[in-house]
Structure 1
Amino acid sequence: MLLTSRAKHHSPKKLQEAFQMVSTNYTQLMQTLEDLMLLSASELIPFAEALMLDLYRLLNADVPRRILQIVNQLWMLLNTVMPRRLWVMTVNALQPKAKLLRQQKYTQNDLMVDPLIVLRCDRRVYRCPPLMDITLHMLNGYLLASKAYLSAHLKENVDQDSKPYQNNTMGVMGQPEAPEVTREELKNALLSAQDSAAVQILLEICLPTDKERSHSTGKILKQQDQSSSLSESLENTQENLLSNVREVQCLICCLLHQMFIADPNIAKLVHFQIFAIQLLSHLCIQYALPKSLSVARLSINVMGTVLTVLTQAKRFAFFMPTLPCLVSFCRAFPPLYDDVASLLIQTGQVCASHVATQAQDIDPIITRLKYLKEKTEVTPDLHRSVSSERIKKGETIAPESLDPDVLLCQRVEATFLEIINTAVVGV
């Protein structure tokens, strides 16, 4: 009773003052939050606005973990009595504080129409596990709310549009014409796009940033320089497993597993969106159908289009794993040889133009590519040469060169040789 009465002496104003002093004296805020934990959910409602108003102050790196955990527990307790209002306040509180731009205040309707607004929060939330847990809880809730909202909206408007549609669907011969795309299909496509976008954003959040990569690399180098015992190495492994990045990854993976179990088609959709060309190369070998041929030709055209717009780093990241897929396209559909050869020549020329200003001799590679394209009769001995074997094994002609364009040119040449070898052997 004494502890509960002490908690009731706190007011929202005192809580706000404690939040403002968190950078200099966090003990007062910790004591206040621990006292509030003794209150019931209904008694916490007056403190909700003060708790959410200064929530962004907890994103600083020096805030104790205990405070973040208590805030997470208080939020989950408030979520049982005022979920909608609490979610809107939380989303607005975690927005990035732009100094020059006016901060937008979202409403419940905005968040149901576009649930991805939840992920437009301050980037520091992505490395704060207690607050990321709250964010994922809201994201999952708004994704489900969006489905219910769109279904209800569709049912409300279907009766209004059904009568005019019945009058306009009579064809020339008096027969009704079926609509090309129904409203239900459009709704399902929108929901699938929302889910897949959320999954891909969450997967990107799991990736370590450049700063985190450099920090982990420095740690590894430091450990290698110092002769550490087995116990010290185990402690270092434990430290890596207990990092904020690792904890956030676990939280995100738990949500992704729930989404995949609820709708297995999301996993297929995301896989096709991320690995479309790689997946298509296997499907063409398995199902050499006319539809597969048209999709393969479309993929080659898309690769030729993005070749001219991607930067050096993005071009390297995109074409290094996708160029070997062209071998499968040619193996399944020989009429694509000319298109693939033109794409490979164009890729090599673009890479060569970017290294022309450097002291690297890339012209011989382009000359060999043109020779391989124009040569109609190739002997099997060419493919048993030392250079081709080195390329197939992944060895580069110039190991000392780490230029992405040079490596990409070598990948182009390796793809050319593999295509020719496939045509000669007939495998």
Structure 2
Amino acid sequence: ELYREVWLRLNTVLPRCLWIMTINALLDINNGNSRNVTITQENVLVDPLQVLRCDIRVFRCGPILKIILRILEASLAASRSQLSRHLLDKPLLEKSGQLTSDAEREELKNALVAAQESAALQILLEACLETEEDQSKPELMWSLREVRSVICSFLHQIFISEPSLAKLVHFQGYPRELLQVTVQGIPSMHICLDFIPELLSQASLEKQIFAVDLVSHLSIQYALPKAMSIARLCVNT
């Protein structure tokens, strides 16, 4: 926690430089290649997911994870801004090749941004999974609870600001054992009730099962007429 407080103070002085130094310091040391790799600011702008290449132990340390999430949020925003700037700086002069309009370029940019952000959220959700090592060490179970709380708070902010991202993540799906964690830990999960009928109509049986499981948790967490109506729809589907 002291490390985090010092980091936050330094962040007011030289933020971008500090972010890169932090990312490089927390690289996965178990990966032999990481010792020869130095992540630069340009790398992060192109691929913000580089921020999450950190050592696995970071995902069991709440204060350090908060720092990483702060860097991740800023990096995703910077990458989004960079892509928008790229479209403005390099206008479509000739309608040749696959892209024929600025609208198509904008659509591709939005798709890339959504892919980056949803991938980041999926990595964070995966970090919430309980491992065998967690089960064998009581102190890691306490750390896991803290980490889940930190990640759920982060996801809540993301879902509130970008509801479409919540829809994308749930259409992609994630381990069903995390549904209890997300529904109880993310206050904005009730927005899932808006798109569950669409999720239920998917051809994939796996997605339908995921939707039913999600509804079961939402119905318990939110005793609302809408939740009951969706639950009835699941039973009748």
TM-score, with length taken from structure 1: 0.40
Q: Number of aligned residue pairs: give it.
A: 192
Corresponding residue number in structure 1 for 2:65: 132
Equivalent AA in structure 2 for residue 205 of structure 1: A
1:184–1:284 CA distance, 2 compared to 1 (3 A): closer
Residue in structure 1 matching 2:168, options 265, 269, 288 = 269
Structure 2 CA distance, aligned partners of 1:100 and 1:253? 31
Residue in structure 1 matching 2:146, options 230, 233, 247 = 247
- Over the residues paired in the alignment, what is the CA RMSD in angstroms? 3.4
Corresponding residue number in structure 2 for 1:209: 131
Structure 1 CA distance, aligned partners of 2:24 and 2:171? 34
Structure 2 CA distance, aligned partners of 1:110 and 1:273? 26
Cα shift readout 1:71-112 (whole Å, capped 9, x = no counterpart):
111100000010000000000010122574343101101111
Structure 2 CA distance, aligned partners of 1:240 and 1:188? 38
Residue in structure 2 matching 1:77, options 2, 6, 9 = 9
Corresponding residue number in structure 2 for 1:188: 110
1:264–1:211 CA distance, 2 compared to 1 (3 A): same
Residue in structure 2 matching 1:257, options 139, 152, 156 = 156
Matched, 1:95 2:27: yes
Q: How does 1:53-68 map onto structure 2 within 5 Å?
A: none
Structure 1 CA distance, aligned partners of 2:199 and 2:9? 53
Equivalent AA in structure 2 for residue 187 of structure 1: K
Report the Cα offset of residue 246 of structure 1: 1.2
Corresponding residue number in structure 2 for 1:200: 122
**Aligned 8 A contact 2:28 2:54 in 1:** yes
Corresponding residue number in structure 2 for 1:142: 75
Q: In terms of mean alpha carbon deviation, does 204-213 or 183-192 score higher? A: 204-213
Cα shift readout 1:228-249 (whole Å, capped 9, x = no counterpart):
xxxxxxxxxxx999x2111111
| Partner SS state of residue 106, structure 1 | coil
Equivalent AA in structure 2 for residue 143 of structure 1: L
Report the Cα offset of residue 213 of structure 1: 2.9
Report the Cα offset of residue 281 of structure 1: 9.7
| Partner SS state of residue 182, structure 1 | helix
**Aligned 8 A contact 1:97 1:103 in 2:** no
Larger relative contact order, structure 1 or 2 (CA cutoff 8 Å, min sep 6): 2
TM-score, with length taken from structure 2: 0.70
Corresponding residue number in structure 1 for 2:45: 112
Equivalent AA in structure 1 for residue 76 of structure 2: L
**Aligned 8 A contact 2:27 2:54 in 1:** yes
1:281–1:96 CA distance, 2 compared to 1 (3 A): closer
Equivalent AA in structure 2 for residue 120 of structure 1: R
Gaps of 5+ in 2: 175-192, 213-236
**Aligned 8 A contact 2:159 2:166 in 1:** yes
| Partner SS state of residue 192, structure 1 | helix
Report the Cα offset of residue 284 of structure 1: 8.8
- Give the percent of matched residue pairs that are identical in Structure 1 and Structure 2: 45
Structure 1 CA distance, aligned partners of 2:167 and 2:31? 41
Equivalent AA in structure 1 for residue 90 of structure 2: N
